Amino acid sequence: MIGDFINLIFPNCCFICDDWLARGEKYICTSCNYHLPRTNGHKHAENDYSNRLYGRGPFEHVLAYLKFIKKGKTQRLLYHLKYENQPAVGEMLGLWYGNDLKEGGLADAFDLIVPVPLHKSKLRKRGYNQSDSFAKGLSIALDVPWESKIISRTQKSETQTRKGRMERWQNVAHIFKLTDATAVAGKRILLVDDVLTTGATLEACAMPILAGECRQISAAVIAVAQ
């Protein structure tokens, strides 16, 4: 892509529109930031994507920062976050969304933030977990600790991209393990991931946390697929 080539040579270009960044701007220009497709779902007790996790577990809150539209602004951002060695983008989005959640009355809603883990082989290849970055930003904004070591991914799953709802669940069922039950017991857990599609991954990751007798579980993602 021409835009990716430009950003490789001129890292001070917006990751979305490729225009030059002004002084004080970082990764995203002010115009693209303003026009990001925010869901604003945190402002409502029920939102139009929370039903994807209905019946999948007792999720108290289901939160998504952005709408994921094919070839849209969010997809460009996530591409840089996941494949262009830009974990700081995830932290920035976590900071922004964490501040939105505070303004929405959720400042004291969680005790611990837990990112969905990558399998160790993918983590080794990529060098970082994009959900860790998002969790770190949320942690800073909400002043809530985050912990990436209490859940492990025991098996490497296939890509979910072209799978249906049942195939997605079968692909991730029973691949997560709680390594420290005492870390979640009695706590309100915010489980975070990058993209919400059918909710199969979040459900599978929530199961061992619920078995660890957490007080409450919620989910937050960078984006929800439309």
HEC secondary structure over the chain: CHHHHHHHHCCCECCCCCCECCCCCECECHHHHHCCCECCHHHCCCCCCHHHHCCCCCEEEEEEEEEECCCCHHHHHHHHHHHCCCHHHHHHHHHHHHHHHHHCCCCCCCCEEEECCCCHHHHHHHCCCHHHHHHHHHHHHHCCCECCCCEEECCCCCCCCCCCHHHHHHHHCCCEEECCHHHCCCCEEEEEEEEECCCHHHHHHHHHHHHCCCCEEEEEEEEEEC
| Domain limits, the chain | 1-35, 37-225
What integer pLDDT is reported at residue 8 of this predicted model? Answer: 52
Low-confidence residues of the chain: pLDDT under 70: 1-11, 156-173
What integer pLDDT is reported at residue 134 of this predicted model? Answer: 98
* Residues 37-225, CATH architecture: 3-Layer(aba) Sandwich (3.40)
What integer pLDDT is reported at residue 169 of this predicted model? Answer: 45
pTM of the model: 0.88
What integer pLDDT is reported at residue 1 of this predicted model? Answer: 52
What integer pLDDT is reported at residue 127 of this predicted model? Answer: 95
